[in-house]
Amino acid sequence: MKIKVGVVGGYGTIGKRVADAVTLQDDMELVGIVGPGFDWRAALMAKRGVKIYLAPNARIEEFKRHNYEPAGTLEDLLRKVDVVVDATPEGVGEKNKEIYDRFGVKAVFEGGEDHKLTNVSFVAARNYKESLNKKYTRVVSCNTTAISRVVGAIHERIGVKKAIISIFRRAADPWESHKKGIINTVVPELEIPSHHGPDAQTVIKDLDIITMAAKGSHNLYHLHMGFLELKEKATKEQVIKALEEEPRVVLVSGKDRIEALNSIFEIGRDLGRPRGDVYEIPVWLESISIIHNNDLTLIWATPEESDVIPENIDAIRALMGVETGASKSIEKTDKALKVLKRFY
Amino acid sequence: MKIKVGVVGGYGTIGKRVADAVTLQDDMELVGIVGPGFDWRAALMAKRGVKIYLAPNARIEEFKRHNYEPAGTLEDLLRKVDVVVDATPEGVGEKNKEIYDRFGVKAVFEGGEDHKLTNVSFVAARNYKESLNKKYTRVVSCNTTAISRVVGAIHERIGVKKAIISIFRRAADPWESHKKGIINTVVPELEIPSHHGPDAQTVIKDLDIITMAAKGSHNLYHLHMGFLELKEKATKEQVIKALEEEPRVVLVSGKDRIEALNSIFEIGRDLGRPRGDVYEIPVWLESISIIHNNDLTLIWATPEESDVIPENIDAIRALMGVETGASKSIEKTDKALKVLKRFY
Amino acid sequence: MKIKVGVVGGYGTIGKRVADAVTLQDDMELVGIVGPGFDWRAALMAKRGVKIYLAPNARIEEFKRHNYEPAGTLEDLLRKVDVVVDATPEGVGEKNKEIYDRFGVKAVFEGGEDHKLTNVSFVAARNYKESLNKKYTRVVSCNTTAISRVVGAIHERIGVKKAIISIFRRAADPWESHKKGIINTVVPELEIPSHHGPDAQTVIKDLDIITMAAKGSHNLYHLHMGFLELKEKATKEQVIKALEEEPRVVLVSGKDRIEALNSIFEIGRDLGRPRGDVYEIPVWLESISIIHNNDLTLIWATPEESDVIPENIDAIRALMGVETGASKSIEKTDKALKVLKRFY
Amino acid sequence: MKIKVGVVGGYGTIGKRVADAVTLQDDMELVGIVGPGFDWRAALMAKRGVKIYLAPNARIEEFKRHNYEPAGTLEDLLRKVDVVVDATPEGVGEKNKEIYDRFGVKAVFEGGEDHKLTNVSFVAARNYKESLNKKYTRVVSCNTTAISRVVGAIHERIGVKKAIISIFRRAADPWESHKKGIINTVVPELEIPSHHGPDAQTVIKDLDIITMAAKGSHNLYHLHMGFLELKEKATKEQVIKALEEEPRVVLVSGKDRIEALNSIFEIGRDLGRPRGDVYEIPVWLESISIIHNNDLTLIWATPEESDVIPENIDAIRALMGVETGASKSIEKTDKALKVLKRFY
């Protein structure tokens, strides 16, 4: 029997992608999504046959104006599902949790919510089992997911004594870049460490990490620059091997003219992915440098709209207990989403 | 028997899209593409089974470095095809034409080439028959195509006395935005009329049109603002009807939160189109305004990477003479590419 | 005796420039400025000896945190001045007007306020006398000022039958570009005509004008593209002469490599102007084109932070009645601010 | 007697600023500048009375078109000066050096040239004496200058065991942002360490430093994020004191709403500096963080157009031997340029 899934916040950047990804899994069924209003994004979901339920305080007039008959309320949906993915804006998830509690529905929250909300955070390859059969879990943010994969892969296989990560963030997602944004500037996060470091530690408990972040004047992908002091001497080959073994990480090369964030974006589009989505963390081969003996540097791109999508799928399986180990779930998810270990 | 098609410049912005679109037509066969070198873009085409032939003066060492065995030379391809689409950079097409001449292969050129090269230019809904059974034709540029559709639709059905079009261009295509581009400025084309006006007249001979253009600091879609003096009084409803009747034009509305170029881009992605491509010209409903009696204003988006793709397919059919009228070819193309008259 | 001037909203984009410009006039005295809080902008004004008064509901705690002793309240300032320039954010001026009324202080408002607030709007070269000895006037917005100068110059000297202006706006001012902004998009104003057309008509009553506008992804200067149907045949030379006679308009040329908005910005900086300000409207010589007989096109830059500054100074003189004609005041202002008729 | 100075490349980003700065020194005289052509930038220099000499292979026709009579050739200038500042584009300086050799004229080169050209590099506060009475020296690049000041200040006063610096570069200077640039992307430098680290070691020989860099989609200022492992425990107060003692470094605070690169730019403009130039390296107070015991983080802005200007002036004095110690020259320069230790 398939896992019955609902997505709350179902046409936001993450929500719509999770909804589509759920549809592609052969052990899951998308019962419906919940939205606060109705605009072109909702209309496109509806046109594809996805059922839309009303969020608490939904803007009913928008549904009426578009002559769309909602499939019911959030509560109606909760009566039909085993688990929801809550991809609502920061802070809303916390309020919704009380409702999920009341209906006894399991829930996956996103990185905008606090770790304390669930007391367990999630990156499949790192700590799948911690969420096994739990009522709630939290998929960490796009940035923390990327760090957990790349730095985690090296930490697990080689050993990281200390990680210093600089994050050059995109300032807004493409779809809302006409309302939010910055122009011709860079905005540093003045408090250091930025929240990403402590957040990574909710997944990789023994990682010594300091993160610094700044917003740049672009809307696609974060760029991470990593400096890792390794526990012991290692070769570039060992690092490459660690990354090759890690799911959802790919190596890319400037020699093939993959030179910047926009190259990665174009690859996603050329791969024929829905929305040009990139689920993998692309690490630049040339940037992997062993300096002195133990110092490793590397640079990667963090596709902020989509890297957490496979994690959400795995988190559903962990909560439901249908797969007891990470590798089986990762394999299923990655097959369904066509996640690659090489772009070509 | 299927039309055998080659694409020269087959992994550039236009070339790769034409190649994919050819593959989707049931009366065409993609024999191969021609490229000057080998990088990630070529590798992705190759991975999908597309055969790559060497352009004159190709960078052979790039093919060798990637261990890719080319399927032959441009000449080899020309021996196997009925027609090529030449999507090479501005000016290269002119040189290639001599080779096509020699091999007796028909060719569709793009808007970067001069009208004089072919003496006939092409927008399917406007002047399909002019290219019928010709050896060569030229699909006009993305901007001219958009103008020919929108202004042409109104001119044909209502009558345009004079058109004044202001074009706010994107400064570079996404894939090459790390090498080309402008930052925090606007670059006007100081010569007026810009080339778009005369170019539109190669398609719509009796159109009185003045175009002005400037490059903006963005990389997706041009925005056109049109002021049309109509030959006679018309209502907003008549204009809407004219646009609704026109293929490859869609109406969009700010009331549905389609508010800016990035909204259109996100729609393309949400529609599940390859690369998020938008083949249609979206016109904003609210911008259609009849001022005084005969003055019409309207604003539309011009998806510069993809609006000419269906035109290229139609141009192939026109040259080959397999469809004698525009409407049959347009219908076939639009069905294969899932071109819409409404986004939702 | 000097005119005693206060500036309300005295460290905003316009306010701080007006305050500095007042200081440079030999017939005016800057009594003080009014601000709602205290941050680096206020600190810099204070350091230069400008007295800061408290706006109603000022954030007193900010003044305290910086150990700055305000010179008094808005009311205190109003007791000491003849006239204020109100450069507060849109809508605040309307509320302040009641206070100015109460204190019998004259006031210059800015283009963010509605024409109805003052029933008279102001561009010195066009309608100085309308504001003569009035209690209130309104300097129109940066865009309307530019249109009034350039189109007005031609209308007055040659005659404009109809003007179609496309405005490619900057999306935010530099100083607040880290909080406001758009990224990689263009946002059209869907309602046409945009407010600029009717606004220009508050200054030039008999001008037939339609304006369209869109916000671009840059933060410096608006770009205007003008199409003017002239009342009668004219030559390019006549148009150039009209613009050369107009104060606060300069001709620039692509032949001298003045090619884009950033060129103009760099000129302002190289001229040694405070903040690199450009008070003039630069019109590109090459863009002045007579097409057919009566159709004129031209393109100009609108320095949104500073083009209205000289107008504010003139508006003060008009209200106070110290100069009865525009030309004398313009001459004084332009000498004090070093406004040029040629950049070099 | 004043030092006779020429500036080669005298209206480029650095050249024009050095020329202006020389004019402000009471122990220097600007004899003239050398340029390869004549456009608006040259015209503005000429208008201010600066004499322009012809570079080898100058575009004479540009001088003629503008009716500008050059003051002579590079060789003519070299006969009149004691020293030149060569601010020509990367690589040109190397060729020019042979000419300077021939004429026995001392020269200051910029960071675009290789350290090997001069075998001595220069940051006044760090290694003034190394250039004393030499024939040639090289002022390091804007980024290396910033690192040498900030990291150097801490290294000298507290001791830095290892420095990891991430540089988010601006992609083009404002004046040429219409020709060069990137759009909506980030371009990492794939080779690590980037050249800045080794470059800093030409000035601070015993500094263990790794730098990583990426270009962002903005045109004003680089942002540096520094992680410094200190030789011993230190407090935030010690770090602040070290920076307060360092000339040409200022502390700024987010609490005063100095929140991003554009805030710094606006401060430069509001300070009334020519071109809004900022000669200081602003370090954010809040970003100074001691993590664990010895780990220090801090974030600063690097005004790429102007931070090296005072260094160029000091380098002239060092070569000429008129001041034998750094502090005297720094004091003179900073007084003339109004360099601040606090912005307000």
pLDDT at B237 > cutoff 90 = yes
pLDDT at D290 > cutoff 90 = yes
C163-192 pLDDT, tens digit per residue, is 999 999 999 999 999 999 999 999 999 999
Residue range C135-145: average pLDDT? 98
Residue range D321-334: average pLDDT? 97
Rounded distance between C-alpha atoms, residue C14 and residue C140, angstroms: 12
Chain B residue closest in CA terms to D219: B183
Q: CB distance B256–A43 less than 8 Å?
A: yes
Q: Which residues of B touch C286 (CB under 8 A)?
A: 190-191
Rounded distance between C-alpha atoms, residue A115 and residue A244, angstroms: 30
What separation in angstroms does the CA of C114 have from each of C22, C109, C132, C195? Answer: 24, 9, 19, 11
| Interface check C291 vs A, CB under 8 A | no
In angstroms, the separation between the Cα of residue B248 and the nearest Cα of chain D is 28
Q: Which residues of B touch A344 (CB under 8 A)?
A: 40, 43-44, 46-47
Helix H, strand E, coil C: the string for D112-131 is CCCHHHHCCEECHHHHHHHH
Residue showing tokens 């009334």: D272
Chain A residue closest in CA terms to C218: A183
| Interface check D266 vs C, CB under 8 A | yes
pLDDT at A212 > cutoff 90 = yes
Q: CB distance D187–B181 less than 8 Å?
A: no
**Closest C-alpha among C250, C247, C240, C253 to residue C154:** C240
C56-77 pLDDT, tens digit per residue, is 999 999 999 999 999 999 999 9
Q: What are phi and psi of A254, to 5 degrees?
A: -60, -25
Q: CB distance C44–D263 less than 8 Å?
A: no
C219-249 pLDDT, tens digit per residue, is 999 999 999 999 999 999 999 999 999 999 9
pLDDT at C143 > cutoff 90 = yes
**Which position among B18, B142, B203, B234 bears the catalytic label?**
B142
User: At CB < 8 A and 24+ separation, what contacts does D327-333 make?
Assistant: D329/D124, D329/D128, D330/D124, D330/D125, D330/D247, D330/D248, D332/D25, D332/D27, D333/D21, D333/D25, D333/D124
Rounded distance between C-alpha atoms, residue B194 and residue B205, angstroms: 17
pLDDT at A292 > cutoff 90 = no
Q: CB distance C174–D46 less than 8 Å?
A: no
Rounded distance between C-alpha atoms, residue C228 and residue A77, angstroms: 59
Q: CB distance A212–D188 less than 8 Å?
A: no
Q: Which residues of B touch A180 (CB under 8 A)?
A: none
Q: Which residues of A touch D207 (CB under 8 A)?
A: none
Q: Note the pLDDT of residue B200.
A: 98
Neighbours of chain D (3+ CB pairs under 8 A): A, B, C
At A284, is the pLDDT very low, low, confident or very high (cuts 50, 70, 90)? very high
Neighbours of chain C (3+ CB pairs under 8 A): A, B, D
pLDDT at B292 > cutoff 90 = no
Q: CB distance C219–A183 less than 8 Å?
A: yes
> Cβ(B158)–Cβ(B204) under 8 Å?
no
Rounded distance between C-alpha atoms, residue D74 and residue D56, angstroms: 7
| Interface check B258 vs A, CB under 8 A | yes
In angstroms, the separation between the Cα of residue D302 and the nearest Cα of chain A is 12
**Which of A43, A178, A270 has the CB atom closest to B260's CB atom?**
A178
| Interface check A295 vs B, CB under 8 A | no
Q: Tell me which residues of D are annotated as active site.
A: 142
pLDDT at B293 > cutoff 90 = no
Chain A residue closest in CA terms to C216: A178
- The β-bridge partners of B215 are B169, B187
Chain C residue closest in CA terms to B183: C218
Q: Is B130 helix (H, G, I), strand (E, B) or coil?
A: helix
C105: tokens are: 């202080």
pLDDT at C278 > cutoff 90 = yes
**Closest C-alpha among C303, C305, C304, C323 to residue C313:** C323
Rounded distance between C-alpha atoms, residue D127 and residue D322, angstroms: 16
Percentage of chain D modeled with pLDDT above 90? 99
Q: Tell me which residues of A are annotated as active site.
A: 142
| Interface check B67 vs A, CB under 8 A | no
Q: What are phi and psi of A23, to 5 degrees?
A: -55, -30
Q: Which residues of B touch D184 (CB under 8 A)?
A: 174, 177, 218-219
At A293, is the pLDDT very low, low, confident or very high (cuts 50, 70, 90)? confident
Rounded distance between C-alpha atoms, residue C262 and residue D220, angstroms: 12
Rounded distance between C-alpha atoms, residue A306 and residue B269, angstroms: 13
Q: What is the phi-psi region of residue A193: left when phi exceeds 0, alpha when psi lies from -120 to 50, beta otherwise?
A: beta
> Cβ(B300)–Cβ(B267) under 8 Å?
no
Distance, CA of D205 to chain centre: 19
A104-124 pLDDT, tens digit per residue, is 999 999 999 999 999 999 999
Chain D residue closest in CA terms to A168: D168
| Interface check D326 vs C, CB under 8 A | no
Q: Note the pLDDT of residue C292.
A: 82
Q: What is the mean pLDDT of chain D?
A: 97
**Which of B219, B261, B269 has the CB atom closest to A276's CB atom?**
B269
Residue type, C218: H
Q: Note the pLDDT of residue C293.
A: 83
| Interface check A296 vs D, CB under 8 A | no
D247-275 pLDDT, tens digit per residue, is 999 999 999 999 999 999 999 999 999 99
Residue range B67-86: average pLDDT? 97
**Which of D212, D223, D289 has the CB atom closest to A188's CB atom?**
D223
**Which of B168, B289, B297 has the CB atom closest to C216's CB atom?**
B168
DSSP output for D170-233: ESS-GGGTTTS---S--EE--SSS-THHHHHHTTSTT--EEEEEEEES-SS-EEEEEEEEESS-
| Interface check C44 vs D, CB under 8 A | yes
Q: Note the pLDDT of residue D293.
A: 83
Total residue count of chain C as it appears in this document: 344
> Cβ(D210)–Cβ(D165) under 8 Å?
yes
Q: Which residues contact B38 (CB under 8 A, 6 or more apart)?
A: B52, B59, B62, B63, B65, B66, B68
- Which one of C173, C179, C183 makes the best mutation probe of the A interface by having the most chain A beta carbons within 10 Å? C183
Q: CB distance C40–D272 less than 8 Å?
A: no
Q: Is B147 helix (H, G, I), strand (E, B) or coil?
A: helix
In angstroms, the separation between the Cα of residue A54 and the nearest Cα of chain C is 30
pLDDT at D292 > cutoff 90 = no
In angstroms, the separation between the Cα of residue D192 and the nearest Cα of chain A is 6
Chain B residue closest in CA terms to A173: B262
Residue type, C341: K
Residue type, C263: S
C4: tokens are: 């005693």
DSSP output for A100-165: HHHHT-EEEE-TTS-HHHHS-EE-HHHHGGGGTT-SEEEEPPHHHHHHHHHHHHHHHHT-EEEEEE
Residue numbers of B between 120 and 179 with CB closer than 8 Å to D? 171-172, 174, 177-179
B171-192 pLDDT, tens digit per residue, is 999 999 999 999 999 999 999 9
pLDDT at B339 > cutoff 90 = yes
Residue range B240-269: average pLDDT? 97
Neighbours of chain B (3+ CB pairs under 8 A): A, C, D
Query: What pTM did the predictor assign?
Result: 0.97
| Interface check A251 vs D, CB under 8 A | no
Q: CB distance C223–B188 less than 8 Å?
A: yes
| Interface check B236 vs C, CB under 8 A | no
Rounded distance between C-alpha atoms, residue D197 and residue D194, angstroms: 6
pLDDT at A288 > cutoff 90 = yes
